[in-house]
Structure 1
Amino acid sequence: MTALHPPPAVRPMPLDVLVEVLERPISDEQAAVVTAPLEAGVVVAGAGSGKTATMVARVVWLVGSGLVTPDQVLGLTFTTKAADELAVRVRHGLRRLRAAGLQPDTPSTGRSDVPLPPDVTSLEPTVSTYHAYAARLVRDHALRLGREPGARLVTPATSWQLAARAVGSYDGPMEAVTWAESTVVQAVLALAGDLSEHLVGGQEVLDVGAWLQKTAAATRKLQGPAKKVLALQEAREQLLPVVERYAALKRERELLDFGDVVALAAELARTCPQVREVERATSRVVLLDEYQDTGAAQEVLLSSLFGDGHPVTAVGDPCQSIYGWRGASAGTLRRFPSAYAAARSTPRTLSTTYRSGGRLLRLANLVSDELRTEGVRVPRLAPAPGREDDGQVRCALLADVDTEARWVADQVVAGLAALPAEEGRYWARAAVLCRKRSMFPRLRAAFDELDVPVEVVGLGGLLAVPEVADLRATLQVLDDPTADAAVLRLLTGPRWRLGPRDLAALGRRARQLVRGGTAAPDDPVEAVVLGVDESQVGSLVDALDDLPPSGDRDPLSSEGRRRLETLRDELRALRRRIDQPLPDLVADVERTLGLDVEVSARPGTTDPASARADLDAFADAAAQFAGDTAQDGAGEAVLSAFLAHLSAAEDEEHGLDTGAVSGADTVKLMTVHAAKGLEWPVVAVPGLSRSTGTGAAVFPAKPVASTSWTANFRLLPFPLRGDRTELPALSGLEPEDLKAHTEANAARDAREERRLAYVAVTRAEQLLLCSGYHWGEGAGVVGPSVFLHEARQACEDGAGEVDVWEDEPLEDNPVVGSGRTAAWPSPAPPAGPAVQAAARRVREIMAELASGPLGGNGTAGAATLSTATLSTAAIDRATLDAAALDAAAFDAAALDAAALDAAALDAAALDAAALDPAAREVVDRWDDDLRRLAEEAARRRSRRTTALLPPVLSVTGLVELQRDRAALARSLLRPLPRPPSPVTRRGTAFHAWLESTVFGQPQLLDPDDLPGAADQGAAVDDDLQLLQDAFRSSSWWGRQPQEIEVPFEMEVEGLLVRGRIDAVFADDDGGWDVVDWKTGRQPSGEGARAAAVQLAAYRLAWHQLTGAPLERVRAAFFYVRTGATVRPADLLDTTGLRALVAGVPTLDP
């Protein structure tokens, strides 16, 4: 814990001095926030209004005025990216304050020759995420609640695993739970999360059920809707033991999820006065960013710690409260004065936006008109001085969804071309924000037609990419014998293109297999008489594995049978390898399907690495999921859990994660939820259509699942939620009661959609594109939504222009009538005709072979199999010209030996009697070559090989030498490229974060001074954020190393060893502490002993670099994920390292 320093004398810093220190102007609104008294208060900050800059100025002013020291300031926000940005900018401001050498309230200029005390200005505030802060409280005080402080934070992957195990192992009553197992797993996680989020237990849920039963007994006549409410409550109650089992599985493994951490922290804050006293004394000033997104448990935690008028400033915007699905409520800002005993009930405001031009704000204010009247007062956004006429809104209503996609792509390209040039960024200055991920494929295809690089952000969006969808479907077929939908995707997709007749024949075969080969009865009466189990349905997966017999009355076409047999054989081969690790299985499926070849061969592809970016992203997701489950000890049934996780990511439109927005120069295609907090010069918001009949609404959208507890068993009853005063109340079960509740909830959903639209339209800096369409993919016509009408109104009022506005059509839907198709796999590249001709010739030869003694009748076909047939001259060399077989379009993996079934080319098939002498000679040469190859392989296997160590070896090589000398020998003799590893990239990203953000040194240019600083710092993946949060909660947080990333070279027994030390800290006793940050798992046994060699090398290197006595140099690993600092005993000294490298590794046969 940071020691408290008494603040210097209180003398308010003049604002002009603050402006000079920060080198940026401060508006009157910002000045009111910056110089506010030390009391609880609310700041309503509009989109792009400079709230981060204002919070930085507030901290600098408080320190410069002598009101607090930097270490007495606590700042909390939601994302690691936001926390890092705030921390860096606060440090930058305090450095400027220190450099200015100010003494508060000096007459006239405010300057003095006497600087602020260095022990004050060199301190730093605590800036963290809400979750990291809660985790630190739990770790420091868990014993007060009888909990272990070393519990680890569970990953989402492991949560899925444990919940699935709880569901699968439960044998209690579940007759009211009639949904699929994957849906039940989602329900368990949702209900468990809600119970933690709202600080209630299972008994309260049962109490609601008792009230419903009592109300039902008093109801005149229970009708269908009321009975549904009761049935859903019964299902909810039957899930409670499964939720408890899930909690028990976490306790057994000493795991906590985010909900557990916040709930425990809230309990500490409510029940332990000592915790409250320590936190209030440590954090004399508290800044709460994005407060409108806090949940009920976070609100209880913070108000319990810092209520009663403590100087807390809550900053937020109720118009941007878009996380109601996870417990956030726009009413938190309204409730703040009473929850924190604030002396001032009227919020201060920041209404001038520095992001968007004035013309764009006309639409933003129009969209938010209905929202500003809810709860706390929200002012209209105003442009920065001089930007009143900046920006443009362009809207369009197109005939159909395909035309809209092309319009969006064209407009984005034109909009970017009109912007001033910016070095290093062109396409990355634009984003397309969608309400639904189902819009992604069509929009992406439109950009692909223009050769515009597009990046799909987030796992859920990735699943809509065609090649990823095929990969996922194959995994589903391997995992689930009833995955008929996945089989149909494969069979009807562009790769296999199975016709309706063959599909129907396969379906009949599936029904036959249910009856053991006898056709299932079509007559339901006959089915009852025969005792057919209604739960038994024909599986296309089984039918594919057991195709109908061929013959004179073959129900399959010859080509259909060939394709089905090929797919069947592929799946059988993959099933034999299904027990390999999940990342390897995903790579195996990709190779088997030839997806890497197909994406590289797309027309217009110039960079194969970029072409397979989506496949790589999916592989990373699989690797992360597998690594997380192994890390937390829940690794069985990984494939099933991974597929269930993907289904949830696809089902939830707001997504399980927002995805990482990379720094690549690509147009970003993402959901509106994922775009919150980001900005671009050009933003497109398509799909502003709603249903006017039977068509499907897009934006505003109807929820995929009901958001009311009366219609969704996954949800906690509203009366138990912490924000229940903001939610529709259910007064009874009479029809009018349920109708009123349903209508109130629909109005709540509409407000949520409007807040989402407001977030979307306030992301743009210069150009905002809004569009909709009449015809979608459904049978009914859709039309412009209320948001598109508002965009048109704003354009007509001077915000921009209406580019196209098609009249409502009368003809049939052109999208449905056109039978929209997609070219996947891609059309053949220039090499295609040559490869296809060669393939035809190979099939002809195989047909001739098949007509011989084993494939046909007698030897009638043998006479035609001559030297010419087998000779390479028979296949025109031009056909197989090297230029025709372009490497990008032809991968050796596509002709893997497994694809050529050995049985089909068995030696017995080439009967010597069926070959003429010349042909026999060709075959003999083949046999001779095979013998020579086999003999060479045998000789290689029999040799014992000595591997010489290279003259330069990395520290990693030293560790491998200790761990497995034979493995090191193999890598030295046969070096192979290492496969890309998400774990390695995550470790690299974590080290970069430490170097640049945590231990960053003063630079000539600070990050926030660079062009485009608002766009920097791509969002990290969830696991990286967990690592960062864990480090912030560790004992190493706040310590400043003497050196970081220290490169070294040292000689050991004639060998040059190279490495890089992560960090070196100076000990209080004059010694040194060499530390290596570890983001992976802590090894044990031999693995731990091998890892210790790394520290031994670092320790010896620092000794040689500085001349410090070796016994005064300590060394440690810090395992970030678990918070464990490990100091191995008996580290090797100089003699030990020399002995290690003296041995020569050998490779045994």
Structure 2
Amino acid sequence: MDPDRLLADLNDAQRAAVTSTAAPLCILAGAGSGKTRVLTRRIGHRVATDDADPRHVLALTFTRKAAGELGTRLRQLGMRDTVAAGTFHSIAFAQLRARWEERGIRPPDLLDRKVRFVADLLPRDVKAIDVVGEIEWAKARRVGPDSYVDAAHRAARTPPMAPHVVAEAFARYEATKRQRRMVDFDDLLALCIRDMGDPEVAAAQRWRFRHLFVDEFQDVNPLQFDLLRAWLGDRTDLCVVGDPNQAIYAWNGADAGYLVDFDRWFPGAESVALVENYRSTPQILAAANAVLARSRHGASLRANRPDGPAPLIRSFPSDAAEARGIARAVRDARAPNARWSTQAVLVRTNAQTALLSEALQAAGIPHRVRGGTGLLEQAEVRTALAGLRRHHGAFDVAIADLEATIEPEPTADPDDEAAAAPTDTSDAVAERRANLEMLVRLARDYQRIDLAPTSDGFLAWLRATVGSDAPDRDAVDVTTFHAAKGLEWPVVHLAGLEQGYVPIGHATTPAALAEERRLFYVAVTRAEERLLCSWAETRTFGQRTAQREPSPYLVQVEAALDDAGGDVSARRATLRAQREALRSGPRDRGRRRSGGAPTELDPADQPLFEALRQWRATRARAAGVPAYVVFNDATLVAVASRRPASRAELLGLPGIGPVKAERHGDDLLSVVAEHGRTPG
């Protein structure tokens, strides 16, 4: 490998990250900044300059797919199969197997299906999937059964059952595994840490892996971090890559603090930041940066792509109408001879995929639900469908019985329907309820089209309408925000952007809300060229229809779009010219704010201004936002004094961009028309 060729197509920050001699080194890589390229080039450059032996390199990541991509890129750089690239679990398992073979120990059986195993240990009224989620969180945080209750309380965790019930089930789980000589995936890491306490084992492992690299470091949990430190020992040859703004797995035990406070954990460490984004247009990045503008780490990605269309925000009267509208938008966005796989539809929860899948199927659009997250793959849905097939009564009775088994939502203010949706404090319970409510809703849809509905007919209809999966052919991806992490598409549709989903209703603590904001940021930054956002004014849960409100994050996106439509520099120049024209306008007779809008009005314009303020207050109350979010006073003053008669004239006023003109333009023009085109 030629070291210079490895650097030829890198920007200054990427080149600094690749060539830095610092150890340890932390590379803060924003979305779309080329982190995988930098990580593999750094490994390649160190090997090419004889600063590292590829046989002693360990590159760690979190999924088999990511590990495979790292290996592929390293082979393309000429390192063949000499570099070890894998997940924490795969490397730990290999180390343990070698140790067991060396000592003549029969390896324990690996428990890779926890839910069924745990179900056999629980009372019938306790859901195994809920207990498994809590066990995995606890083990990731290095919490045992005896300390679970206190740890869950300190973490403000709200399990779907009493903490002592979880602790008791956790203890039975661990004891039964020991009796049956079984280990789970987290046990592999803990056993590896234990073995590293043996000086001979530690010396051998540290001799083998001398140069450590970790991808997606913001997703490391305490168990993985302790194993990493055990592998590293007292050495400093460590390079990590991560982005605190893409930390979205704290609910599952991850701790982004290891990345954020890297220099505290590794004194003397240096950091390099990558902020040049090569994935998305300036318009999409403006929206993404705006979402995190007030967060702890902010977002300051800089675009390296040409201008594109401003992201579009649309509302629909219902969730069904939204699904149909997205199907039309997917078809409209497909260029001649283009592949369907250039588009994705992203949602916050698994349950939302079903309605979208049905609409895409009806429109004849090939699609797949990525990552096995489809409605029909969910455990509770499979159980419910099996129960329907065994039910001896009529189909409508079977569905009524199914609906009666759905866990009720916690008691809430009956007047607070705006935030209706999954509002439980548990991801698992809320997701399960939403999946079953969607199944009931689909059953009612099926009843309306089949005069003699049966359970078998319903299952066949489901497979034909929402069970579409096209893994081996060109298809639109339908997936959740979480599952979309690490992926990208030219065109992305974000659906269901409503309060209660984005952020999710059960996110109530500052930490949980901050993670929800980062999750939305991750979803936005999956888009390369076009971003289409939508929400529904009503949504049906089972047989209940609730009024909905747009996600509060859309306020930040909308504000960013007013400055990012089309050519950003040209837009700003136009705004400056318009403001100058307003300054010199004949009605500017009073003091002016720095933005150029008059702060005093001609008496003839005052009634119109007051009418505009009254309209703004009504609109703000309906949307649940402060009045200034709709329009500030300077904009209303400009409308009152200039009295626009068309959308084009509205766009010539300060504070009104294409998004606000689209959303509020007709109302503004109507208020102006009621007061006459000219004053007096």
CA distance in 1, matches of 2:457, 2:324: 30
Change (3 A) 1:759 1:471: closer
Per-residue deviation, 1:749:
1.6
The structure 2 residue matched to 1:358, chosen from 264, 268, 282, is 282
Match of residue 160 from structure 1: 115
Q: Secondary structure, in 3 states, of the residue corresponding to 1:463?
A: helix
In the TM superposition, 1:196-595 aligns within 5 A as: 196-205=139-148, 235-269=162-196, 271-339=197-265, 341-344=266-269, 346-371=270-295, 373-374=296-297, 380-384=300-304, 387-390=305-308, 392-417=310-335, 421-422=337-338, 426-463=339-376, 473-477=384-388, 487-489=397-399, 592-593=456-457
CA distance in 1, matches of 2:231, 2:367: 46
Q: Secondary structure, in 3 states, of the residue corresponding to 1:802?
A: helix
CA distance in 2, matches of 1:239, 1:809: 55
Q: Secondary structure, in 3 states, of the residue corresponding to 1:133?
A: helix
Match of residue 55 from structure 2: 71
Match of residue 631 from structure 2: none
Match of residue 502 from structure 2: 699
Give the residue type in structure 2 aligned to 1:783. Answer: E
Answer whether contact 1:197 1:263 (CA < 8 A) is retained. no
1:790 aligns with 2:556: yes
Change (3 A) 1:700 1:474: closer
Consecutive unaligned residues in structure 2, runs of 5 or more: 405-450, 567-657, 668-680
Q: Secondary structure, in 3 states, of the residue corresponding to 1:237?
A: helix
Q: Secondary structure, in 3 states, of the residue corresponding to 2:107?
A: coil
CA-based RMSD of the aligned residues comes to 4.0
Match of residue 150 from structure 1: 107
The structure 1 residue matched to 2:23, chosen from 33, 39, 59, is 39
CA distance in 2, matches of 1:458, 1:389: 32
Per-residue deviation, 1:259:
1.8
Q: Secondary structure, in 3 states, of the residue corresponding to 2:121?
A: helix
Q: Deviations over 1:1040-1089 (max 9, x none)?
A: xxxxxxxxxxxxxxxxxxxxxxxxxxxxxxxxxxxxxxxxxxxxxxxxxx
CA distance in 2, matches of 1:471, 1:187: 16
Per-residue deviation, 1:193:
2.3
The structure 2 residue matched to 1:194, chosen from 137, 140, 164, is 137
Answer whether contact 1:266 1:298 (CA < 8 A) is retained. no
Give the residue type in structure 2 aligned to 1:434. Answer: V
CA distance in 1, matches of 2:76, 2:527: 27
Change (3 A) 1:789 1:56: same
Per-residue deviation, 1:43:
0.7
Q: Give TM-score scaled by structure 2 length.
A: 0.69
Per-residue deviation, 1:791:
2.3
CA distance in 1, matches of 2:660, 2:284: 16
1:688 aligns with 2:536: no
CA distance in 2, matches of 1:241, 1:809: 61
CA distance in 2, matches of 1:72, 1:763: 34
Change (3 A) 1:148 1:292: farther
CA distance in 1, matches of 2:529, 2:22: 38
Q: Secondary structure, in 3 states, of the residue corresponding to 2:479?
A: strand
Per-residue deviation, 1:354:
1.5
CA distance in 1, matches of 2:37, 2:402: 55
Per-residue deviation, 1:285:
1.2
Per-residue deviation, 1:767:
0.6
Per-residue deviation, 1:338:
2.8
1:664 aligns with 2:517: no
Q: Deviations over 1:829-887 (max 9, x none)?
A: xxxxxxxxxxxxxxxxxxxxxxxxxxxxxxxxxxxxxxxxxxxxxxxxxxxxxxxxxxx
Q: Secondary structure, in 3 states, of the residue corresponding to 1:776?
A: strand
* Runs of 4+, deviation exceeding 6 Å: 206-209, 468-471, 483-486, 490-493, 807-810
Per-residue deviation, 1:188:
3.4
Change (3 A) 1:471 1:809: farther
CA distance in 1, matches of 2:176, 2:230: 30
Match of residue 53 from structure 1: 37
Consecutive unaligned residues in structure 1, runs of 5 or more: 1-12, 96-121, 169-179, 213-225, 494-502, 504-562, 568-588, 601-610, 618-660, 691-696, 708-744, 811-1149
Q: Secondary structure, in 3 states, of the residue corresponding to 1:766?
A: strand
Give the residue type in structure 1 aligned to 2:492. Answer: V
Q: Secondary structure, in 3 states, of the residue corresponding to 2:659?
A: strand
Answer whether contact 2:348 2:480 (CA < 8 A) is retained. yes
Answer whether contact 2:308 2:530 (CA < 8 A) is retained. no
Match of residue 517 from structure 1: none
Larger Rg: 1
Match of residue 755 from structure 1: 518
Change (3 A) 1:428 1:490: farther
1:774 aligns with 2:556: no
Q: Secondary structure, in 3 states, of the residue corresponding to 1:688?
A: coil
Answer whether contact 1:398 1:773 (CA < 8 A) is retained. yes
Q: Deviations over 1:94-130 (max 9, x none)?
A: 26xxxxxxxxxxxxxxxxxxxxxxxxxx761111112
Change (3 A) 1:444 1:204: closer
CA distance in 2, matches of 1:409, 1:207: 48
Give the residue type in structure 2 aligned to 1:266. Answer: I
CA distance in 2, matches of 1:295, 1:44: 18
In the TM superposition, 1:642-653 aligns within 5 A as: none
Change (3 A) 1:412 1:484: same
Match of residue 659 from structure 2: 802
Q: Deviations over 1:1086-1129 (max 9, x none)?
A: xxxxxxxxxxxxxxxxxxxxxxxxxxxxxxxxxxxxxxxxxxxx
Match of residue 140 from structure 1: 98
Q: Deviations over 1:61-103 (max 9, x none)?
A: 11111112211111011111111111111111126xxxxxxxx
Per-residue deviation, 1:38:
5.2
CA distance in 1, matches of 2:105, 2:240: 32
Q: Deviations over 1:896-943 (max 9, x none)?
A: xxxxxxxxxxxxxxxxxxxxxxxxxxxxxxxxxxxxxxxxxxxxxxxx
In the TM superposition, 1:917-1066 aligns within 5 A as: none
Per-residue deviation, 1:246:
1.9
CA distance in 1, matches of 2:160, 2:367: 45
Q: Give TM-score scaled by structure 1 length.
A: 0.42
The structure 1 residue matched to 2:125, chosen from 178, 181, 203, is 181
Answer whether contact 1:356 1:391 (CA < 8 A) is retained. no
CA distance in 2, matches of 1:330, 1:43: 14
Percent of matched pairs sharing the same residue: 30
Per-residue deviation, 1:489:
1.9
Answer whether contact 1:395 1:802 (CA < 8 A) is retained. yes
Give the residue type in structure 1 aligned to 2:137. Answer: D
Match of residue 628 from structure 2: none
CA distance in 2, matches of 1:666, 1:768: 18
Match of residue 86 from structure 1: 70
